[in-house]
Amino acid sequence: MSKKYDLELVEAPPIQEVSAAVPELAAFDRRAFLKAASYPCLAVCAGALIGPQATVLSYAAPAAEDDSQFIREARFYEKLPYKKIKCRLCPRECVIDDRERGYCGVRENRGGAYYTLVHSRVVTAHIDPIEKKPLFHFLPGTIAFSIATAGCNVNCKMCQNWEISQVRPEQVRSSYAPPQKVAELAQTNKCPSIAYTYSEPVIFYEYVADCADAGHALGTKSVVITGGFIQQDPLEKLCRQVDAIKVDLKAYSEKFYKEVVNGQLKPVLDALVTIRKHGVWNEIVYLVIPTLNDSDAEFKGLSRWVKSELGPDVPVHFTRFYPEYLLKNLPPTPVETLERGKAIADAEGLHYVYIGNVPGHPAENTYCPNCHKMIVERTGFTISAVRIHKGKCQYCRHPIPGVWGV
């Protein structure tokens, strides 16, 4: 339920114990999931977790009448005359009047100050294989405690999670999960990492940063799964707080970003360069959509850009599109198209080019670029062998980039 706030009431409240605020949240069990899955808003999240390894931990509590526990002052904004503000978190740079929200719908101007409405406001939580993100060179075979809030700063026509990304926080059921609780749940469930995923972590930036700190205090890493549509200053600060960032590079053309994403390509490319510069582990996913971003020229341009600006060792995943959301008129990507993209990227000199969403395809495996032997064997999200020792190929001792040990 939507609630109007008095400006005097927007100070951050004291953190409450999750068991007090939403007692059922602790009951992350199958019964709770079944209850949650009966809510339409979460059905997509459940559906996204088909697979023998996916332990579903989704839970939805009834919408809170007083949601002040989710409010924090936002970072990265500028105060303007007449109580307006300009948001400096993402390249959209929304200018927002008092009592209005930015494009993402989760950040609100209240009396000339800017607030996030989704701190600790989790709409779904799952334990996923890290390979599902996908991150192939980051703690392979481990699981990630994965969370999301509502909202997104773009509107991709192929979005798989539009039920949570294209809504305001009041339109979906959520649970209160403060950072300390998230870190403890990750630890209790033996997850070496917390993943910020499903929707767009950029728009719940403050929560990501706080969870990353809480996780690190308990020895848990943080990985961000993002479209990379973020400004440089917040990104640079984020790079100092998280351990891996997977970027969905949605196309290699401004036209696609304008028409299909409602975003821009250039800031995403700039973000990739910055992530690389800061030494945060990075992988790129390129969802190949028939007729929209699958030309040889685009595969070649993307591959050349990655090699020259990021280097040949950044993994690139060409993944298969399935009809979703506003692109149900297109067919699934033919496997041959993915193989064509991989062949072009290989020929351009990229060392780790994968094919995704095609379980059992040989291009799910990792091959040493020096001796060409298979060094990580995968089928879907299952790892059957890792032949990397101390960051080197077990056969020829060639260094293999990535984060291989906890």
Q: How far is the CB of 221 from ligand SF4 (least distance, A)?
A: 25
Structure tokens given for 57: 């931990």
Strands 77-79 vs 85-87: parallel, antiparallel or unpaired: antiparallel
> Nearest distance from residue 87's CB to ligand SF4, in Å?
3
Query: In this chain, which stretch among 92-100, 180-188, 267-275, 397-405 interacts with ligand SF4, using CB under 6 A?
Result: 92-100
Q: Please, which residue, 29 or 97, has the CB nearer to ligand SF4? A: 97
Binding-site member from 93, 170, 324, 339 for ligand SF4 (CB under 6 A): 93
Minimum Å gap between C-beta 161 and ligand SF4 is 17
Closest to ligand SF4 by CB, 94 vs 172, is 94
Question: Which amino acid makes up residue 222?
Answer: S
Residues numbered 114 to 153 that lie near ligand SF4 (CB under 6 A) are 153
Interacting stretch for ligand SF4, rule CB under 6 A, among 100-108, 124-132, 178-186, 354-362?
100-108
Residue nearest to ligand SF4 (CB): 102
Angle value at C-alpha 237, between 236 and 239, nearest 5 degrees: 65
DSSP string, 340-354: HHHHHHHHTT-S-EE
Distance from the first to the final alpha carbon of the chain: 42
Closest approach of ligand SF4 to the CB of residue 142, in Å = 30
> Could you tell me the CA-to-CA distances from 223 to 38, 146, 201, 218, 300 in Å, in that order?
29, 9, 10, 15, 28
Smallest separation, CB 108 to ligand SF4 (Å): 9
Q: Which helix (H) or strand (E) holds 77?
A: strand 77-79
Which region, judged by CB under 6 A, interacts with ligand SF4, from 25-33, 97-105, 183-191, 398-406? 97-105
Using CB under 6 A, pick the residue from 33, 59, 103, 381 that binds ligand SF4. 103
* Residue span 194-223 as binding mask against ligand SF4, x where in contact by CB under 6 A, dash where not: ---------x--------------------
Give the neighbor-by-neighbor strand order of the sheet with 374-379.
Answer: 366-367, 374-379, 382-386
- Residue 89 in contact with residue 201, Cβ under 8 Å? no
What is the β-pairing status of strands 193-196 and 221-226?
parallel
What token pair was written down for 2?
Answer: 């939507």
In whole angstroms, how far apart are CA 178 and each of 54, 221, 273, 376? 24, 17, 32, 36
CA 152 – CA 302 distance, rounded (Å)? 25
Closer of 115 and 145 to ligand SF4 (Cβ): 115
CB of 364 to ligand SF4, least distance (A): 34
Task: Between 91 and 399, name the residue whose CB sits nearer to ligand SF4.
Answer: 91
Number of residues in contact with ligand SF4, rule: CB under 6 A? 12
Region binding ligand SF4 by CB under 6 A among candidate stretches 21-29, 101-109, 366-374, 393-401 = 101-109
Distance of closest approach, residue 395 Cβ to ligand SF4, in angstroms: 46
Q: 206 or 364: whose CB is closer to ligand SF4?
A: 206
Smallest distance, ligand SF4 to C-beta of residue 98, A: 14
Query: Is 102 among the residues that bind ligand SF4 (CB under 6 A)?
Result: yes
Return phi, psi of residue 248, to 5°.
-85, 100
Please tell me the distance from the alpha carbon of residue 67 to that of residue 58, in angstroms, as a whole number.
20
> CB 224 → ligand SF4: shortest distance, Å?
15
Tokens of 248: 């969905």
Cα–Cα distance, 80 to 100 (Å, whole number): 14
- Three-state DSSP class for residue 106: coil
Structure tokens at 68: 């002040």
- 89 belongs to the binding site for ligand SF4 (CB under 6 A): yes
Question: What is the residue whose two structure tokens read 């591959």?
Answer: 303
226 touching ligand SF4, by CB under 6 A? no
CB of 102 to ligand SF4, least distance (A): 2
Q: Which of 94, 269, 284, 383 binds ligand SF4 (CB under 6 A)?
A: 94
Calculate the CA dihedral of residues 365, 368, 372, 374 and round it to 10 degrees: -40
Q: Alpha-carbon distance 128 to 42, whole Å?
A: 16
Binding residues vs ligand SF4 (CB under 6 A)? 87, 89-90, 92-94, 102-104, 107, 153, 203
